[in-house]
Chain A
Amino acid sequence: MSQTQTNQPTISKEEATWMFEKMLEIRHFEDRVHDIFGTGILPGFVHLYAGEEAIAVGLCSHLDDKDYITSTHRGHGHCIAKGCDLEGMMAEIYGRATGLCKGKGGSMHIADVEKGMLGANGIVGGGFPLAVGAGLTHKLKKTGGVAVCFFGDGANNHGTFHEGINMAAIWNLPVIFVAENNGFAEATPFHYASSCKSIADRAIGYGIPGETVDGKDVMAVREAAQRAVERARNGEGPTLIECITYRNYGHFEGDAQTYKGEEKVKHLDDLDAIKKFYTYLTEQGIMTEAELDQMDDDVRRAVDRAVEFAERSPYPLPEQLMEDVYVSYKTDGGAAR
C-alpha cells in the first residue's frame, strides 16, 4: 500500500457505513442462526458464513441489482451482501411461507432473483456454469452488468471449475470468479485436495488474471474486486480472485471441527475481519467508535426483528406443495404423471 493510501481514506463514509453494516448483518445473522440451530428448532442443514464476511461485502460493494451472483451452500453472507431482506431470509431458514422462497428452498437454496441473487446451491461446483450463463445474458443483451461466482476451495477441484472458467474466458464474458479459500473442503485440508499452491495460480491455464488477497481484509478484497469488475464491465473478460479466509464455525452446524488447530483462536480474535475493519475505519478517521458501536446495536435489533418475524410467520399450506413446479400447469398431486 502506498503512503497516500494509508494516510487518506480510500472510501467515503457512505460506502464505509454500507460495508460495515453488511458485515455486521452477516455476523449477527449467522451467530443467531448458530444459537437457534443449537436449540433444535431449525429444520435441515445450515452452513454458516461467519468469519468470511469481508469477501461477500468487498465484492458486492461494487455491484447493483442488475448484476448477478451465484453462491454456495454457505450462502447467507452472499445473500445479505447482495441486498436480500433479513426477515425474508430468516423466515426462509425457518421454512416459513413468508420466506424469500416461500419456505421451499431453505438455507441451501435461498435466493432472490430480483436482487440478482441466483441462489445458494446445494451442489459444490454448481455455480460455475450458472455464472457463465448470467454473464452470457449480460453480454448478449449489452446490459453492462457482471456476474460474480462465489465458490469454496472444495469446488476448485470440481470439473465445472474448468468448464465454466474456460468458457467465460473464450467468450470474454463479464464474470468474476471468487474463491473463498477457508482452508477446508468439509473436513479435508486445501493442501491435500488441490494440486496447486494457490487457486489463483490456476488462472494462468485460462489466460486470465488471477490474484490472491487477504480475505479477512475487506479493503483488500474491495480493491481487487474493483479491478475485476472494471475489467468485466469494459468487456475485457473474466478474472479469478482467491480470498484466503477462515470459517468461524464448522462445515455445517453440528460439525465437531476436530480438523482445526490452534489457528482457530487467532481467527476468532486478532484476525477477525470485522475487528480489522473497525480498527481501520476508526484509525483512518472515517467513522467514530460511537458510530460503529451504534450500528452494532442497530444490526442486533434488526436480526432480533428478523427472528421474531420468522417465528410468527406461518408454515406453507399443503396446497403449496404442488405450486411452482411448472410455469404453465400444476401437477395433480396424485400419480403426478
Chain B
Amino acid sequence: MTRQITFSQAVNEAMALSMREDQDVILLGEDVAGGAAVDHLQDEEAWGGVMGVTKGLVQEFGRERVIDTPIAEAGYIGAAVTAAATGMRPIAELMFNDFIGSCLDEVMNQGAKLRYMFGGKAKVPLTIRTMHGAGFRAAAQHSQSLYSFFTHIPGLKVVIPSTPYDAKGLLLESIFDDDLVVFFEDKTLYTMKGEVPEGSYRIPFGKADIKRKGEDVTIVAIGKMVHTAIKAAAELSKNGVEAEIIDPRTLSPLDEDTILSSVEKTGRLIVVDEANPRCSAATDIAALVADKGFDYLDAPIKMVTAPHTPVPFAPSLEDIYLPTPDKIIKAVQEMTGSELVI
C-alpha cells in the first residue's frame, strides 16, 4: 500500500519539494517559522505556522527563504506580488482567508491585473496559500470559505483540494504555475490521512475528479463537502440511489465538461458548498448547467449550502450552519419525489 500521510504533511511536502527544485521559491507569511531574530532559535522554528503546516521548512531552507513577516497582510502580500513579477516564485501564506479584507487591493487590483494591464509583459507566479472553512469553532472572522470571491476575479486561479493526494499534486502545480493562484486549505482537513506518493507529481488545473461513480444524481461538492457528500451517497446507495460525486478541485479554471457530461448521464444536479449561498460557486455551477445543460435536466437544480449568515460560534449553531449528509439526502428526496427511508 502507498504510504499514508496527513493533508497537512502533504501540503508541507509539496512546499519542501518545490523549494529543493527551484531556488527562486520562497515562503513568506506570519509565523511560517516563528521566532525570527530570537537568538536561541536561529534557523529553528518557534511554530512552523499557526497550525504547524510549515514545520521543518526553516531548518532545511533557512530564514532567507522562509520569511516571517510582520502582521501586515497588505505589505507582505503586495510584496509577494512584485517579488513574483521581478523573478522570484513566492508562496505567501495568508493565515486565514478571512484576512483578505486587509490585502484585497494587493490581490485583486495589483496581482490579478498586472499581466493584463501591462499588455502581457509581466507574469505573477505567486501562490497564496490560505486557510478556510467552518466547523472549527473559530466563529465569524476565522471560518469563512471565500473562494467564490476570488473565482469572480479574472487573472486569479482558484484551487480547493479535498484530499491529501490532491493537496500535494495541486500545490506543486500551483507553485510552478506562472499565474497568481489562490490555494485553499480547509483547516478541518489538516489531520485527515490519505495515500500520497513520495516525490513530485502534479495535478493539472481544470480537471475535475469523479470521487464516486453513480447513475442517478450528480453531486458537485467543493472542498471538504466532498466527504459530506460521500457519507450521503453511502446512505442513498442503501436505498438504491447511486450518486456521482464530482470534485471540481479548481474553480478557476472550472472543468465544465466533466460536470455537464455527468448531468447528461444522471439528469439531476445538486451542488454542495459550505460557503454562503448568494453569488457563490454553487450558483455559478448551477448557472452553468442551467445555461449549457438545461435539456439534460429531469428535475430543478438543488443547492445545499450554508445559510446567508456569518459563521456562528456556538457549536449548536455552527453544526446546523454547515451542510450535512442529511441535508443532501433531503435534497435528493425532494428532487426525485421519492420517499427514501434513511
Contact = CB atoms under 8 A, between A and B. Distances in A.
Interface of A: 68, 70, 99-105, 109, 111-114, 118-119, 121-123, 126, 128-134, 136-138, 140-141, 159-160, 162-164, 166-167, 170, 323-329, 331, 335-337
Nearest to A99: B119
A113 B155 CA distance: 18
Given A137-B88, A326-B155, A130 B82 contact: yes
A337 B288 contact: yes
Contact of A140 (B64, B82, B179, B254): B64
B121 A122 contact: no
B76 A126 contact: no
Nearest to B254: A337
15 contacts: A104-B119, A105-B117, A128-B75, A129-B76, A129-B82, A130-B81, A134-B82, A134-B86, A141-B87, A163-B70, A163-B76, A323-B120, A326-B179, A337-B254, A337-B288
B75 A163 contact: yes
Nearest to B256: A337
Contacts of A160: 74-75, 78
B121 A164 contact: no
Interface stretch (B106-114, B194-202, B220-228, B327-335): B106-114
B82 A131 contact: yes
Contacts of B254: 337
Given A103-B119, A323-B120, A324-B116, A163 B74 contact: yes
A123 B109 contact: yes
B69 interface: yes
Contacts of B236: none
Contacts of A102: 119-120
A127 to B, nearest CB: 9
Nearest to B75: A163
Contact of B85 (A113, A123, A335): A113
B117 A129 contact: no
B79 interface: yes
B253 A329 contact: yes
Contacts of A114: 121
Contact of B75 (A134, A140, A166, A329): A166
> Which 3 A-B residue pairings sit nearest by Cβ, starting from the closest?
A129-B78, A133-B82, A163-B75
Nearest to B287: A335
A94 B72 CA distance: 38
B253 to A, nearest CB: 7
Given A163-B70, A326-B179, A113 B75 contact: no
Contacts of A132: 75, 78-79, 82
Contacts of A335: 287-288, 291-292
Given A104-B117, A126-B105, A132-B75, A118 B85 contact: yes
A328 B177 contact: yes
Contacts of B291: 335
A284 to B, nearest CB: 38
A112 B122 CA distance: 9
Interface in B135-187: 154-155, 157, 177-179
A167 B75 CA distance: 7
B83 interface: yes
B119 A324 contact: yes
Contact of B83 (A113, A134, A170): A134
Contacts of B177: 327-328
Nearest to A109: B117
B200 to A, nearest CB: 19
A101 B79 contact: no
B118 A140 contact: no
B57 to A, nearest CB: 16
B74 A137 contact: no
A114 B119 CA distance: 13
B123 interface: yes
B77 interface: yes
Contacts of B113: 109
B235 interface: no
A96 to B, nearest CB: 11
Given A126-B109, A140-B64, A329-B253, 4 more contacts: A114-B121, A128-B75, A132-B75, A137-B86
B211 interface: no
B115 interface: yes
A68 B88 CA distance: 14
B26 interface: yes
B74 A136 contact: no
Nearest to A122: B109
A256 B241 CA distance: 71
Interface in B191-239: 205-206
B115 A325 contact: yes
B72 A166 contact: yes
Contacts of B288: 335, 337
B301 interface: no
Contacts of A101: 117-119, 121
A140 B74 contact: no
Interface in B64-104: 64-65, 69-70, 72, 74-88
A133 B86 contact: yes
Contacts of B82: 68, 70, 118, 129-134, 137
Interface string B305-334: 000000000000000000000000000000
